[in-house]
Amino acid sequence: MKIDGTTRLYGIIGNPVGHSLSPVMHNAAFDSLGENRVYLPFEVEDLGAALYGMRALGIEGASVTIPHKEAVLAYLDRLDPVAEKIGAVNTIRLERSESTQEKLLCGYNTDWLGAVRPLQEQLELRGKSAIVLGAGGSARAIGFGLLEAGAALTLCSRTESRGRALASALGCDWSPLAEAENLEGDILINATSVGMSPFEDKSPVAPGVAASYQVVMDIVYAPLTTRLLADAQLSGCRVVGGLEMLLQQGAAQFELWTSLKAPVDIMRRALLEAISPRP
């Protein structure tokens, strides 16, 4: 990769971001297409200052991750209608006003596509029932996507006030996380950080709970097979790992930023090489 005065800059905004595989995925895509673009991680505490800098420096696009997906809305100039409806942003694109040529930060959400696309490869979502664990930005986007696809939705969260608020916003049911094992459905999705380092040995639900679902999905992608997914596989469930959601939402981001078709196979290979243990 040759970096010069014409290199176009992208990145990920979050805290922490050192573990993120998004730079691996997007830089592999840029390289494979011969694009003079680079994607960097930015650990951000002062969100407003970071976005001011993004506009001033002409950074053309950014991914947004924990804990900024909802807070970032207050700093954007324009929201895509889908992102506005979801109430969370995971993608920013620098655009120019047609009338004034002013630089505008415009917010989008591709998380819902990252979840819905791989789930649709496993089963028809319309008419199915889904249980989503969590009440953060990812749960919000996934819940929106499931409802748009025609599935029935129940949210489960540890914090009642936050869970009920999100359920109200989405127009779905809510249940305490502790009671998730008593629910029934076709799809179970973990949209919490349970299962991520340093809690790789943890699952958001008790062993055996996954057995009553057709498909189990976990948004955690490190490790590739979380405790939840391992339990689900032992029970004969079809599983969708977090790496596939990361890939699909990233492919949608890439196309939004570049207007080019994302090289999905190359992006997937780069992710697998980055996360797989080396001999």
Residues noted as catalytic = 69
Query: Which residue type is seen at 3?
Result: I
Closest to 268 (Cα-Cα) out of 12, 26, 36, 1: 26
CB 79 within 8 A of CB 106: yes
Dihedral Cα 18, 21, 22, 28, nearest 10 deg: 130
Cα-flanking dihedrals φ and ψ of residue 104, to 5°? -120, 140
> Which of 98, 22, 17 has the alpha carbon at shortest distance from 274?
22
Is the CB of residue 88 less than 8 Å from the CB of residue 146?
no
Q: Which residues of 104-123 are buried (b: 16+ CB within 10 A; e: fewer)?
A: ebbbbbbbbbbbbbbbeebe
**Which residue, among 68, 47, 62, 49, has the nearest Cα to 105 in the 3D structure?**
62
Question: Is residue 104 helix, strand or coil?
Answer: strand
Which of these, 251, 101, 243, 122, lies nearest to 186 by C-alpha position?
122
Contact yes or no for 232/213 (Cβ under 8 A): yes
What is the spatial distance between Cα 72 and Cα 90, in angstroms, rounded to a whole number?
A: 9
DSSP string, 207-220: TTGGGG-SEEEE--
Classify residue 64 by burial, with Cβ atoms within 10 Å: 0-12, 13-18, 19+. buried
